[in-house]
């Protein structure tokens, strides 16, 4: 594939960027929209993203892949921080901000975060192993693109994967963990917990008709409107977020549209840094049992 190379400039001052934290992207936040295959470099010469239109077409069109990803929409989380967005509520004289539960789920492996003090396959993954295995050829295709187009980042991530017990790595990939988002715009955020030297990958599936949802890098005023089957490889440590999703029935939606069924699924693949430290599944299971016993 012929791929254009673009070097971009910083277009937003740090203080202006800081004001955008958690906010939904606006059309005025970008000056350049990527429309064809390209590799974009930051002013410091490091890769920001690689846009590969249609690279995931075969998998996006696979109805079984779609039905698995679509089924995940019922899992909601209020743990996405800035990415999930917040709503303000008045409590007497005080205004507080609350996280909005959004359709986002983590599949694959995760280290000992939050209340779970042991490494594990996430609940959905453990309960849906055939579906999880079915998704793996798609994830291997994503990994192939990473290796071809961002070889140094792939090598760093593959080294981390090689230093991790195979039980925690998606076979044939340098990914431990996948986030599946369904039809909500992420507020401007940077990703946390994934490998600094690595790169993330976002595959997009679309159903129905909607406008918006562009993914924007506000520091550089660059955006991409991912279509069905597109893949974006990106440095998720740069600020990024989506524009509002306006579906065909003219509503801004934060979940799959109940009227017109417009849907945007994004599948984000990455390596979680702390997974290199996870013991065997048997050790982690014992840790979980020990913790349970101390609580009883």
Ligand X SMILES: O=C(O)CCC(=O)C(=O)O
DSSP state letter for 82: G
Q: Indicate the residue among 181 and 284 with the shorter CB distance to ligand X.
A: 181
Strand partners for 272: 194
d(CA 178, CA 155): 19
List, in order, residues 6 or more apart from 157 with CB less than 8 Å away: 146, 174, 175, 195, 197, 198, 199, 271
Which of 202, 205, 231, 253 binds ligand X (CB under 6 A)? It is 202
Contact 234, 51 (CB under 8 A): no
Q: Which one of the spans 53-61, 121-129, 178-186, 276-284 is the region binding ligand X (CB under 6 A)?
A: 178-186
Residue 208 CB, nearest approach to ligand X (Å): 16
Quick one: tokens of 238? 């740069």
Would you list the DSSP string of 9-42? ---S-HHHHHTTTTPPB-GGG-SEEE-SSEEEE-
Which of 240, 272, 276, 284 binds ligand X (CB under 6 A)? It is 240
Task: Tell me if 83 contacts ligand X by CB under 6 A.
Answer: yes
Which of 65, 121, 215, 223 binds ligand X (CB under 6 A)? It is 215
Which of 103, 125, 186, 269 binds ligand X (CB under 6 A)? It is 186
Which of 125, 173, 176, 179 binds ligand X (CB under 6 A)? It is 179
Residue 242 CB, nearest approach to ligand X (Å): 5
Paired sense of beta strands 245-247 and 86-91, if any: unpaired
Which of 62, 191, 225, 238 binds ligand X (CB under 6 A)? It is 191
Residue 51 CB, nearest approach to ligand X (Å): 12
d(CA 133, CA 137): 8
Task: Tell me if 173 contacts ligand X by CB under 6 A.
Answer: no
Which residues lie near ligand X (CB under 6 A)? 83, 179, 181, 186, 191, 202, 215, 240, 242, 266, 268
């Amino acid at each position: 594939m012929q791929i254009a190379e673009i070097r971009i400039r910083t277009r937003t001052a740090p203080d202006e960027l800081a004001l955008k934290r958690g906010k939904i992207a606006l059309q005025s936040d970008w000056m350049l929209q990527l429309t064809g295959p390209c590799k974009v470099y930051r002013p410091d010469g490091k890769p920001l993203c690689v846009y590969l239109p249609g690279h995931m077409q075969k998998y996006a069109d696979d109805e079984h892949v779609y039905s698995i990803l679509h089924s995940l929409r019922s899992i909601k989380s209020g743990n996405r921080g800035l990415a999930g967005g917040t709503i303000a509520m008045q409590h007497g004289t005080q205004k507080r901000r609350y996280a909005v539960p959004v359709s986002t789920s983590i599949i694959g492996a995760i280290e000992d975060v939050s209340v779970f003090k042991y490494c594990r396959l996430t609940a959905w993954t453990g309960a849906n192993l055939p579906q999880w295995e079915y998704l793996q050829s798609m994830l291997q295709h994503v990994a192939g693109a990473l290796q071809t187009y961002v070889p140094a980042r792939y090598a760093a991530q593959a080294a981390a994967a090689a230093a991790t017990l195979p039980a925690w790595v998606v076979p044939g990939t340098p990914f431990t963990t996948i986030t599946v988002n369904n039809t909500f715009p992420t507020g401007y955020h940077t990703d946390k917990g994934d490998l600094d030297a690595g790169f993330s990958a976002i595959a997009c599936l679309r159903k129905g008709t909607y406008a918006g949802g562009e993914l924007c890098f506000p520091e550089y005023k660059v955006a991409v409107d991912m279509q069905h089957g597109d893949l974006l490889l990106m440095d998720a440590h740069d600020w990024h977020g989506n524009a509002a999703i306006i579906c065909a029935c003219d509503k801004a939606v934060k979940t799959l549209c109940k009227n017109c069924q417009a849907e945007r699924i994004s599948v984000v693949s990455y390596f979680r840094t702390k997974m290199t430290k996870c013991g065997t599944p048997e050790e982690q299971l014992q840790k979980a049992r020990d913790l349970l016993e101390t609580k009883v």
